[in-house]
Amino acid sequence: TLSAPYSHGSAVKVQGRTAAASRRRAATMQVSPGGGHGMGVHRPDFDESRALPAVVEDYIRATRPEVAQHLSYDQAYRVAPVHSTVFPNFSFLSNGTMRVWHPKGPEKMEVWAWVVVEKDAPPEVKRAILRNSQYNFNVSGIF
């Protein structure tokens, strides 16, 4: 199921995404290898699903042939992780966000977060990735 448009409705509206746009993603699935680990993956479909800012999607599309030189075709073109957690407390998202979750007691959690961008990415791509991560993780909650 596609929970983001409903569970995170306010953030989805701010980002201009819709449930219809999310449904256009091809072959979305959840993968659980066991041990508490999990990953949501989809086949990249950047022309129809604007989950990332356009400048970032354009950059990914432009650099994908270089990436494909180091990976198999399926790794480079067919599978894209959306969200992943390595049990017990390491998570990452497709927008470059990495998080480590630190329980601090009942009903309390401290989260350390980083945003990873390619060193050689153009400044406008770096800014867009940073802004996108700020939409997804801020004082009002977690997306």
Task: Look at the chain and report how many structural domains it folds into.
Answer: 1
Which residue is listed with tokens 């990436």?
Answer: 67
CA distances, 35 to each of 28, 38, 83, 89, 133 (Å): 22, 9, 17, 12, 28
Mean pLDDT of 22-50: 69
Residue 109, number of CB atoms within 10 A of its CB:
11
**What is the pTM for the complete model shown?**
0.69
CA distance linking residue 73 with residue 90, whole number of Å: 27
pLDDT value, residue 24: 47
Q: What's the pLDDT tens digit per position in 1-29? A: 455 555 556 666 666 655 555 554 545 77
User: Where is 78: in which H helix or E strand?
Assistant: none
Q: Are 21 and 50 in contact (CB under 8 A)?
A: yes
Burial 33-62 (b: 16+ CB within 10 A, else e): eeeeebbbbbebebeebbbbbeebbebbee
- CATH number of 84's domain: 3.90.380.10
Q: What's the pLDDT tens digit per position in 76-117? A: 877 777 788 999 999 988 888 899 999 999 989 898 989 999
pLDDT value, residue 141: 58
CA distance linking residue 105 with residue 109, whole number of Å: 7
CA distance linking residue 90 with residue 101, whole number of Å: 7
List the domain range (segments joined by +) for residue 111.
Answer: 4-142
